[in-house]
Structure 1
Amino acid sequence: MKDQIGSFFYFPSINFQKSAGGFGPIRVNNREVIAEPFEKPEEEFDLLIGDWSYFNYKLARRIFRLQVQGGPIDRLHMLINGKMPFNNPFRYPHESFEVEEGKTYRFRISNVGSKLSFNFRIQDQKLVLVETEGSYTQQIVLDSLDVHVGQSYSVLVTADRPVSDYYIAATPSQFTEPPNDDLNGVAVLHYRGSTTKPSGPLPAGPFPSHPTLSSDQARSIRSNMTAGAARSNPQGSFNVTNATISQTFILVGSDAVLASFFHYYAINNVSYTTPTTPLKLADYLADGVGVYRLNEFPVNSTKKVFEQGTFVASGIHKGWLEIVLVNDLNIFDFWHLDGYRFFVVGFGDGEWSPASRDTYNIVDAIVRSTVQVYPKGWTTVYVYMDDPGMWNLLYASFVGIFAAASTPAPSPSPAFT
């Protein structure tokens, strides 16, 4: 794969299909001539962790549309690689990872759920963060890591504890509901030769509804500017220090409840409608006429009246696009951009204003494709528009409700929805 390394997972983008289990891990390794910025681990493990509902995805989609601010919370479990928690009352299998004392292992962790962020930790073990979604990070030592919907991380874990079995826990983060053991994902770190099972309470994590701890951690995740990645030159050689912004989109995430009692997520009070004709086919055959509306999406304002439709907005080819993602809800937003990775330059509380740019990190901003927006807050990303085509900007937990965003193209054809 050209110009890409890192930890990812594949998933369908629409109609709750990801909730049906349509996902899997992707590892993209460095070329042999490019060293990773850490010693080669003894082994690597994929952890696909996420909330799972007893409801089939079609029923869950219908229920979701009748709920306000987040959809169904009940009948959820947190699964690790599709398996129930250790010591679950149903006696279903749990996930386990075997390690050898003194060796170091790489855990590639992805949140494949549809609703819940989780806090990941391993009993009595330190986590060394090294990579996220294709970007090597400055290495920081953590007791636990918040992983938001759609995000992927790599951490190194050294088996330096006495030979035993230890809990691996993934518990809801940024969560205000009463504690619920069904929402705790639990696996086992098994030291080779151990005959002792984990027992007692799970390792304590941060307070589950404390956004400041989570946002402080997010700000601490920065790019390793000197590491080689997909190419032999340092990944920091392409950065935003001197970026000249060509366009700014201000996208406000919200929800709307119509007279029909159906619930919709919206961006700038517009909810995207998936057409029966694929956008690129419509573009090729009829320049999109009758299928989508080009450059009618309000990229810097919010419509006074809620609207549904298929919109495509244009970007400037090989220009820098600033996207300000604003969250008016009391719950988390999660945004994912297909076809691109972006520089996460800022997080903030309350209203965004041009003065907020003074707080941006344009020195060593992390590069990724999925980002969280904290309740009643904003997140800003910079995107270099060098990949012509039509690309989805997914919003609202990737449950399949997404909206037009923008499109670069060297030709009249639009590039990104």
Structure 2
Amino acid sequence: MIRKMTPTLRLVLLSIVSLIFWPTTVVKGEDPYIFFTWNVTYGTLAPLGTPQQVILINGEFPGPVINSTSNNNVVVNVFNNLDEPFLITWSGVQQRKNSWQDGVLGTNCPILPGSNYTYHFQVKDQIGSFMYYPSTAMHKAAGGFGGLHINSRLLIPVPYPDPEDDYTVIINDWYTKTHSALRNMLDSGRTLGRPEGVLINGKNAKGDGKDEPLFTMKPGKTYKYRVCNAGLKTSLNFRIQGHGLKLVEMEGSHVVQNVYDSLDVHAGGCLAVLVTADQDPKDYYMVASTRFTKTVSTGKGIIRYEGGKGPASAEIPEAPVGWAWSLNQFRSFRWNLTASAARPNPQGSYHYGQINITRTIVLANTAGRANGKLRYAINGISHVNPPTPLKLAEYYGVADKVFKYDIMQDRPPASDKAEIVMQPNVVNITFRDFIEIIFENHEKSIQAYHLDGYSFFAVAIEPGTWSPDKRKNYNLLDAVSRTTIQVYPKSWAAILLTFDNAGMWNIRSEIWERTYLGQQLYVSTLSPGRSLRDEYSLPDNSLICGIVKDMPKPPPYTL
């Protein structure tokens, strides 16, 4: 008996035949690409009224904003038209499996004058407000920095209505000396001293009625301001006359939406606030002023209501005083556990407080002298960048000819006056270990640190000296996942993270004279078996230098 073939059975048979005879070629879809070409040049501007040399990107100071969306492939072709080697680092971009694009001297050969290099990185599973800046020499003192946005994909809900517009605010302390002069000061053993002023998007309003507005707002509308501190050394307090700041995001994490009169933005840090134009339609000052300094410097910029009449009031809102206020503000920051992240899963589904700590590393900053000159160190080791980037030496199998692993102990020396040793500082960390890092500040000035390649949970900042019993004070529920952390004078800060991003990653002070003089280190997290599942191979366009320049290229990683 022959049965009639049903439509369902016919579809199943056709599918089987298709699988048997279909060509074996696999079509691989990629996430969208966005492309940029940047010409890095010198220019002359007068941010504080005195003409001086600055670094421009495509003629802009600050540089152009990179406006991307989660999972975009970002391609930036950088032409170095300066007279010195140059690199840009993408602060806060996690560069999953791809420290080759980090743009620091431990992973990349610098872009030589008159040449170019094309960065290619993916903002994988990230959102948030970040920035880029030069990582070489003291170039950051002259510019070359700008905003980097990673927007949520359309299908991922954001925990606030779409703003009327999205504005980038780069605040920074500023010196009127050139970056070369500042570098010479440090090379000679001197410190930089106090900056001459504060800029907001490269300017400081004079208040003479002739200032053009940095931003405009329509009455009744709400705007998003992404604020980043690209300065060399100073924490800055940010505020807007007569307007509340609703904090909504910090360095890639949605946060509980508290409203603040002002916010401290520490060196290297970024945050995003919502501001509603609910005041009388006229001009208002946006203000950034130095914190924890004997002399307060203030930068101003104009925000103008559309159709408004009247100048900004000369009465500037007062900044807070003392670091205890700032510490209390830090304690008010909480991760928004009900908001979605770049992935569809709620952020709160990652219970970091329930993971066992496998290693504790205590890092203490020290200042001292080596060879008669000022140096800064972490646990007594003052990092020196060798001619061969650390990551290249590791990849080519000649690490033993360039640096030694683990010369630094997991605890600082018993005395802050211990001799400072100058050499490359590389810590070896086992892939996927869950690590506790304590930053201890034994000095009277504030410190700030950044970790490339990762976000970490900032679980505590407290006065005094850390000890294991302090863990009872950790926030193990909703600490904000971020990429920078400040450490107040005579205090400590604790972070937790899983080192699951294979590569060579930089931990550095965001006080840039300290970074330049050695207050940084690298973390090597090796991929077991050189697997492409964990880390990308050396890109074909990589710049090669140092002792590996003429060596045969090692075979690429495999699955």
TM over 0.5: yes
Which range moves more in the overlay, 404-413 or 359-368?
A: 404-413
Matched-pair contact (CA < 8 Å) for 1:6–1:27: yes
Q: Secondary structure at the match of 1:11?
A: strand
Match of 2:216 in 1: 98
Establish whether residue 220 from structure 1 lines up as the match of residue 332 from structure 2. yes
| Offset, 1:167 | 1.1
The reply to whether residue 166 of structure 1 matches residue 284 of structure 2 is: yes
Cα distance, 1:84 vs structure 2 = 2.2
Letter in 1 for 2:524: T
Q: Which has the higher contact order (CA 8 A, sep 6+)?
A: 1
CA RMSD, 1 decimal? 2.0
Are 1:340 and 2:451 counterparts?
no
Aligned length: 404
* Equivalent in the alignment of 1:41: 163
SS of residue paired to 1:392: strand
* DSSP 3-state at the match of 1:139: coil
Change (3 A) 1:86 1:240: farther
Contact 2:166–2:223 (CA under 8 A) maintained in structure 1: yes
Where do residues 58-137 of structure 1 align in structure 2 (5 Å cutoff)?
Answer: 58-64=180-186, 71-74=192-195, 76-87=196-207, 95-137=213-255
In structure 1, stretches of 5+ residues that fail to align are none
Q: Which one is further off, 319-328 or 17-26?
A: 17-26
Question: TM-score, normalized by length of structure 2?
Answer: 0.69
**With structure 1 as the length reference, what TM-score do the two structures score?**
0.92
Instruction: State the distance in 1 between where 2:462 and 2:188 align.
Output: 31
Distance in 1 between residues matched to 2:219 and 2:150, nearest whole Å: 27
Aligned to 2:272, which of 135, 154, 162?
A: 154
User: How many angstroms does 1:94 deviate by?
Assistant: 5.7
1:281 corresponds to 2:392: yes
Quote how far apart the aligned CAs of 1:169 are.
0.5
Residue by residue over 1:113-152, the C-alpha shift from the partner in whole angstroms, topping out at 9 and shown as x without a partner, is: 0111111111111110000100000110100000000000
1:295 partnered with 2:406: yes
- Consecutive unaligned residues in structure 2, runs of 5 or more: 1-70, 72-123, 536-559
Counterpart in the other structure of 2:129: 7
Offset of 1:372 from its aligned partner?
0.4
Write the letter of the residue equivalent to 1:82.
G
Task: Give yes or no for contact 2:251–2:271 (8 Å, CA) kept in 1.
Answer: yes
Could you give the per-residue CA deviations for residues 355-382 of structure 1, whole angstroms, max 9, x where no partner exists? 1111100110101111100011000001
Aligned equivalent of 1:353: 467
Structure 2 counterparts to residues 307-326 of structure 1, below 5 A: 307-326=421-440
The aligned residue for residue 323 of structure 2 is: 211
Matching residue of 2:56: none
Aligned to 2:357: 245
- Match of 1:19, SS? helix
Deviates more, 1:289-298 or 1:157-166: 289-298
Counterpart contact for 1:250–1:325, Cα < 8 Å: yes
1:268 to 379, 395, 409: 379
**What is the aligned counterpart of 2:344 among 212, 221, 232?**
232
How far apart are the structure 2 equivalents of 1:81 and 1:58?
A: 22
Give, in whole Å, the separation in 2 of the partners of 1:138 and 1:52.
Answer: 32
- SS of alignment partner, residue 358 of structure 2: strand
Displacement of 1:212 in angstroms is: 0.6
Distance 1:396 1:111, change over 3 A: closer
Of the structure 1 ranges 299-308 and 331-340, higher mean CA displacement relative to structure 2 is found in 299-308
Are the equivalent residues in 1 in contact too, given 2:288–2:300 (CA < 8 A)? yes
In 1, the alpha carbon distance for the partners of 2:126 and 2:520 equals 26
Alignment deviations for residues 181-201 of structure 1 (CA, whole Å, 9 cap, x no partner):
xx2110111111112111322
CA contact 1:346–1:360 (8 Å) conserved in 2: yes
Q: Which amino acid is 2:162 matched to?
A: K
Alpha carbons 2:450, 2:484 under 8 Å: kept: yes
Which amino acid is 1:369 matched to? T
Which residue identity is paired with 1:21? G
Cα displacement string for residues 383-413 of structure 1 (whole angstroms, at most 9, x for unaligned residues):
2111000000011513433422533223378
* CA deviation after TM superposition for structure 1 residue 13, in Å: 2.5
- Once the two structures are superposed, residues 319-354 of structure 1 have per-residue CA deviations (whole angstroms, 9 ceiling, x without a partner) of 111000001111111100011111001111111111
Provide the identity percentage.
Answer: 36
Equivalent position of 2:494 in the other structure: 380
**Would the aligned equivalents of 1:80 and 1:95 in 2 still touch at CA under 8 Å?**
no
Whole-Å separation in 2 of the counterparts to 1:368 and 1:64? 30
2: CA distance, partners of 1:112 / 1:396: 9
Q: Does 1:255 align with 2:367?
A: yes
